[in-house]
């Protein structure tokens, strides 16, 4: 193996280790935030008035 090939494999190994570390960090961050699929309207750039009309449990009209 010549010097260029050795340098290539050394850099490739460092690159692959960095990618694996990045994947592991992303997976742990995703697992930490995976508690609930809930979101707010403000996260979507919409007006979050707080007066959400819950259609699945409408108030009793009387």
Residue position matching structure tokens 């008035």 = 49
- b/e for 48-62, b at 16 or more Cβ within 10 A? eeeeeeeeeeeeeee
What is the reported pTM? Answer: 0.47
Whether 56 has a pLDDT exceeding 70, the answer reads: no
Give the mean model confidence (pLDDT) for residues 38-55. 67
Alpha helices in the chain (DSSP H): 3-32
How long a stretch of residues is the chain? 62
pLDDT at position 18 is 94
Over residues 43-47, mean pLDDT? 73
Task: Give pLDDT, residue 17.
Answer: 95
Q: Which residue has the tokens 């692959």?
A: 16
From CA 60, how far away is CA 52, in angstroms rounded? 16
């Amino acid at each position: 193996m010549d010097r260029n090939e050795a340098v290539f494999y050394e850099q490739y190994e460092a690159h692959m280790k960095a990618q694996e570390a990045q994947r592991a960090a992303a997976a742990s961050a995703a697992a930490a935030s995976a508690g609930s699929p809930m979101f707010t309207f403000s996260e979507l750039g919409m007006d979050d008035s707080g007066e959400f009309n819950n259609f699945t449990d409408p108030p009793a009209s009387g």
